[in-house]
Amino acid sequence: MNSGYDSPILAGRVLVVDDEEPLARMVTTYLTRAGCAAEATYAGPEALDLARSRDPDVVVLDLGLPGLDGIEVCRRLRTFSECYVLMLTARGSEEDKLAGLAAGADDYITKPFSIRELVARIAAVLRRPRHVVDSTEPVRVYGKLTLDLAAHEVRVEGSPVPLTRTEFDLLTALSTHQPQVMTRRRLIDIVWGPAWVGDERLVDVHIGNLRRKLDDDSGRYIDTVRGLGYRMVDQ
């Protein structure tokens, strides 16, 4: 693991959850040097307790944990927190990565990783742009879908649809730029920020999760433009 790193100045609360205690402590040390309020825990149940009491901006979450595994921790975390979840995994299979993202993680990084890359990912998240609500159009309607920007709420046929912050921001970006076709890179720049680095296919997974929650397998709200990207359907 490469730990060479020149500390940027960061601000934010980060919870590091990993049963490899030396690794968790090292990551926490580097984040603290970078300016974050960072702390570590090593088991699933304790991670949930700390997340409730500390209200972190970012949770760095390992898949393999005692008590509750990372997938279950992420599922439960999503019932009370909109924090950004960066999943750590030593497993190389696509199935594990997809399972983590489907449980509500926003991104993943595979072990072994460099501390520089991890901190860069966290820095990009903490600098992530916040969408400004257009007061002239706080509520957008697309057929049976209602997007309320001010309330941070999505409804389909009047029923609320629980979305992660990343899913909501993707839907907002597509809606804001409708009917333009949005490439993966452009969506990343808007939602994750231009400093984000990683696999751009991450966008496809989040769009897939978003469609599933919106019951949009037919593409009535989000259209795939093959070879280009995605766009909001004009209804």
The DSSP bridge partners found for residue 15 are 39, 59
Tokens of 96: 């594990």
What percentage of the chain exceeds 90 in pLDDT?
Answer: 55
Q: Work out how many domains the chain is built from and give that number.
A: 2
Q: Are residues 97 and 40 in the same domain?
A: yes
Tokens 């001010």 — which residue? 150
φ, ψ at 153 (rounded to 5°): -135, 140
One domain, residues 146 and 227: yes
Single pTM value for the model: 0.80
Q: Are the C-beta atoms of 109 and 70 separated by less than 8 Å?
A: no
Asked whether residue 199 falls in the same domain as residue 113, the answer is no
Domain that holds residue 118: 13-126
Do 159 and 62 sit in the same domain of this protein? no
- 119 and 206: one domain? no
pLDDT digits (tens, 9 = 90+) for 120-158: 888 888 877 555 455 566 889 999 999 998 888 999 999
Question: Looking at the domain assignment, is residue 2 inside a domain?
Answer: no
pLDDT at 212: 92
Do β-strands 84-89 and 58-62 pair in parallel, antiparallel, or remain unpaired?
A: parallel
Query: DSSP string spanning 200-217?
Result: TTHHHHHHHHHHHHHT-T
Q: Are 80 and 38 in contact (CB under 8 A)?
A: no
169: CATH:
1.10.10.10
188: pLDDT confidence band, cut at 50, 70 and 90? very high
